[in-house]
Chain A
Amino acid sequence: MSSPAIPMPGSIGRSPDPDVAPPAAVEDILATAQALRWEVGQEFHERLVEAMYTEAARLGDRAVTRPGTEPRFDLDRSIDRVVTSRRWGFPIMILLLALVFWLTIAGANVPSAMLANLLLDQAHPALKGLAAGIGMPSWLSGFLFDGVYLATAWVIAVMLPPMAIFFPLFTLLEDFGYLPRVAFNMDKLFQRAGAHGKQALTMTMGWGCNAAGVVATRIIDSPRERLIAIITNNFSLCNGRWPTQILIASLFIGPLAGTSWLAGAISAAAVVVVALLGVLLMFAVSYLLSRTVLRGEVSSFSLELPPYRPPRILQTLYTSLIDRTLIVLWRAVVFAAPAGALIWLFANIHVGGDSLAGHLVNLLNPFGLLLGLNGVILAAYLFAIPANEIVVPTVLMLTVLTSGLVGQGVGAGVMFDADAAGVLTILKGGGWTLLTGVNLMLFSLIHNPCSTTIYTIWKETKSVKWTTVASLLPVAMGFGVTFVVAQVWRLVAGG
């Protein structure tokens, strides 16, 4: 510690001062306090708070001069009347959500394609060429460029544009002061589900990142309701899953709409439907938990609705781009690079006539088909436990590998590629149908939290039991939901 101007006898981390009172004195103080507590009576606390507030009001009155008697915050109240009105409250909420997704999907298309073109179509062959030029052994260049580089590049191309649009939009809504109004509008539903109204806030935080959503549950001061909020936070689609939803919706759902401008709207609608399904599941699971293992104990709810504040748009764009987007991207890259390496190894180490990845996919395939998915998707979710971001790249790579599509890949374990059409060709080649697309969207919504979130849940609850429940319950539900959808679909479609 550097020497301050004045002797400073204490700061955090110092050992306790030596002047600790003897135990006898402490006992005496505690006993006196206990005895006096019976005397001062139960209303003591209230008198005290009243005295404080009275004094605060007196001082406040002395210091503040107000203009006349006109009501303050007129504009705020007018906005509030609209966004919490019976007629418009809920439509506005859903419209805003849809608008955010539509802007994200529509806006991300072009930059995504450009990035894919740059990083995958141009840079990748160039790197390979360079490697060949300097005489790098082919296994090493394969490992580095077909494994590590491609996985990373793919994640950047898929993740960066939607995140760079989604986060700033969301932050603008947050800075404006709209989120507490969402909680205010939806509280009745939470109440019915036996949950805390502030769970609405942690739910929306979860749309950014589930781990952050889990930490945000600290604003809920009742342990039971906090636990419910933690367990159900995973039903908020997080940033690692939005791109998957958006991509699959654009590939499989959008084309159902004929015209191209309608396709964007339909894809956005499909994503909103999945997000709302997540909200619905969140309510359902909260309800079930609060009726069974986490019974009773509905606690109080008080929510301050802050004044609306005009967000500072440029500053918000800048900070959420730098902060949230780049940090999230960094995380994705950190997980994608080793995962890419691992997948490449899995695809290129052969045991008994097939690669390790091939064995894994074959093993999972029957179960996957039962769920309307396939072995590739399930294998991809195993690889993606550390980070959901890498699901799609892994799916593509494994599909190429196992469906034996030639002419698309450069070698086993190469992840590509490119534009939407190319992706669709690969997937169709792998036997994908509309059902596979729909069920992947569902499974992406309903499966285990990523490892960071699991760790956060453990840190927040300090309970192995609840961490296990929070991790396994969604996977089990995901299996159930996709299974039922697949079977009913086949029943109706006569497959």
Chain B
Amino acid sequence: MTSPLVLLGGTAAVILGLGLLFWPRLGLLARLRGARDYARRVRTEDTLKHLFSLEIDGRRPTLQSVAGALGASPDAVAGLMTELADSGLVDLAQGRISLSPRGRDYAIRVVRAHRLWERHLAERTGYAEVDWHRIAEREEHRLTPEAADALAQSLGNPAYDPHGDPIPTASGELAITGGLSLSSLGPGDRARIVHMEDEPAVIYSQLVAEGLHPGMVLNVLETDGDRTRFWAGGEEHVLAPLLSNHVTVAVLQPEADLPEPGIPLTQLAQGQGATIVGLSPGIRGAERRRLLDLGFLPGTRLFAELRSPSGDPTAYIVRDTLIALRADQARHIRVQP
């Protein structure tokens, strides 16, 4: 019989080789196949999206702006533009770049796919908020219109993405959102965050790190120079204009009786009781509904009763029943001990 060492080594080598070749997405074969077509579609769609977003903002696209958005050279972009014009997606009349009606439809479809996907990531997955945009950037090119419709249905036909941007309907209608920039508020103003711009990613990730979400209510305490100091989600925040410009808010009527913000449920010690003051907007969709169905509602008394020996789920007594929640969900429930 062959030596065991040779057998073991040989098998390992064969498995490694096969893996390198056939691994989904990363394997050599997968990379070769389809890589080129895909890259071309991504470029087309990204271009259309860029043109569309400028159009919404009322700005005029140039070869340079497109090149900047795509990270390509202006020469390459010039070639791309003629290709797009040939396929009837872009008008190049009088040296101006603009979307043709067909191009606009296409762009809206991509935007729809992007925002639906973000909503899906927010509601159904555990991806970190900062990753949503990046992943949606990738998936928007893969989602067929039919798949997008199916996704929309399964999400309950949402009207907004998790950043507060409107999601275009299947027939291509798109609501235009209004709202003010957070930096324009003054002391004493009360407002709800309606939108947080997810590009550029550096700024967005700082906003997320601050713990801000669309839907959150904030109270401006002070505007010091151009910095804005405000209270939201039970904490104080200070944002420089660079950041606060990326937050769109809707002003609310000032209210005397602000709800007590409380502490996250996770901070409750074992054996301690508390009253729920609210669920943070950070928990959404099905997860939020499940908590509501289980009776985690504002005003409900609960006790932190048991902690799992491995540390994580904690069981709470809520309405006479012992219910275990992971810290991941419990931190979104705010309580008053």
Q: Chain A: residues with CB nearer than 8 A to chain B?
A: 34, 37-38, 42, 45-46, 49-50, 53, 72, 77, 80-81, 84-87, 89-90, 184-189, 191, 197, 221-222, 292-293, 296-306, 369-370, 483-484, 486-488, 490-491
Contacts and interface: CB of A to CB of B under 8 A. Distances in A.
Interface string B1-45: 100110110010000000000001000000000000000000000
B312 A188 contact: yes
Interface stretch (B47-55, B66-74, B285-293): B285-293
B323 A303 contact: yes
B308 A304 contact: no
A163 B315 CA distance: 34
Interface in B157-186: 157, 159
A305 B215 contact: no
26 contacts: A46-B279, A80-B315, A86-B309, A89-B308, A89-B309, A184-B306, A187-B308, A187-B313, A187-B324, A187-B326, A191-B326, A197-B313, A222-B124, A292-B24, A297-B125, A299-B124, A300-B326, A301-B329, A303-B313, A303-B323, A303-B324, A304-B322, A305-B315, A483-B11, A490-B4, A491-B5
B255 interface: no
B317 to A, nearest CB: 9
Contacts of A77: 305
A372 to B, nearest CB: 10
B308 A298 contact: no
A37 B175 CA distance: 14
Interface stretch (B229-237, B240-248, B294-302): B294-302
Contacts of B307: 84
A304 B321 contact: yes
A366 to B, nearest CB: 10
B31 to A, nearest CB: 16
B311 interface: yes
A288 to B, nearest CB: 12
Contact of B159 (A38, A188, A300, A370): A38
B325 A189 contact: no
Contact of A84 (B121, B124, B308): B308
Listed from nearest, the 5 A-B pairs whose CB atoms lie closest are A298-B126, A89-B309, A188-B310, A487-B4, A297-B125
A87 B307 CA distance: 12
A49 B292 contact: yes
Given A297-B124, A483-B11, A302 B310 contact: no
Nearest to A183: B324
Contacts of B310: 185-189
A36 B38 CA distance: 40
A14 to B, nearest CB: 28
Given A184-B313, A188-B310, A302-B324, A370 B125 contact: no
A34 B311 CA distance: 45
Consensus secondary structure, chain B interface: mixed
Contacts of B286: 221, 299-300
B306 A296 contact: no
A293 B289 CA distance: 28
Nearest to B120: A297
A305 B308 contact: no
A184 B308 contact: yes
A382 B174 CA distance: 59
B292 A46 contact: yes
Interface in B310-337: 310-313, 315, 320-326, 328-329
B126 A305 contact: no
A196 to B, nearest CB: 10
A300 B24 contact: no
Nearest to A301: B326
Contact of A300 (B1, B8, B290): B290
Given A90-B309, A300-B329, A49 B293 contact: yes
Contact of A302 (B121, B312, B325): B325
B285 to A, nearest CB: 9
Interface string B86-123: 00000000000000000000000000000000000100
B158 to A, nearest CB: 10
- Of the candidates B287, B313, B329, the one having the most CB atoms from chain A within 10 angstroms of its own CB is B313
A302 B289 contact: no
B136 to A, nearest CB: 12
B324 A296 contact: no
Nearest to B323: A304
Nearest to A223: B124
A49 B297 contact: yes
A302 B309 contact: no
Interface string B129-166: 00000000000000000000000000001010000000
B289 A296 contact: no
A305 to B, nearest CB: 4
Nearest to A292: B24
A298 B324 CA distance: 17
Nearest to B24: A293
B149 to A, nearest CB: 15
A473 B29 CA distance: 21
B172 to A, nearest CB: 15
B22 to A, nearest CB: 13
Given A302-B323, A302-B324, A304-B321, A188 B294 contact: no
B182 to A, nearest CB: 20
Contact of A299 (B126, B157, B279, B293): B126
B292 A84 contact: no
A45 B279 CA distance: 13
B8 A302 contact: no
A292 B24 CA distance: 9
B138 to A, nearest CB: 12
A426 to B, nearest CB: 25
Contacts of A46: 279, 292
Contacts of B289: 45, 49
B270 to A, nearest CB: 10
A427 B18 CA distance: 37
Given A305-B324, A483-B11, A298 B313 contact: no
A52 to B, nearest CB: 10
A370 B7 contact: yes
Contacts of A304: 294, 321-324
Given A38-B159, A53-B297, 9 more contacts: A77-B305, A80-B306, A84-B307, A85-B309, A184-B306, A185-B310, A188-B313, A305-B315, A487-B8
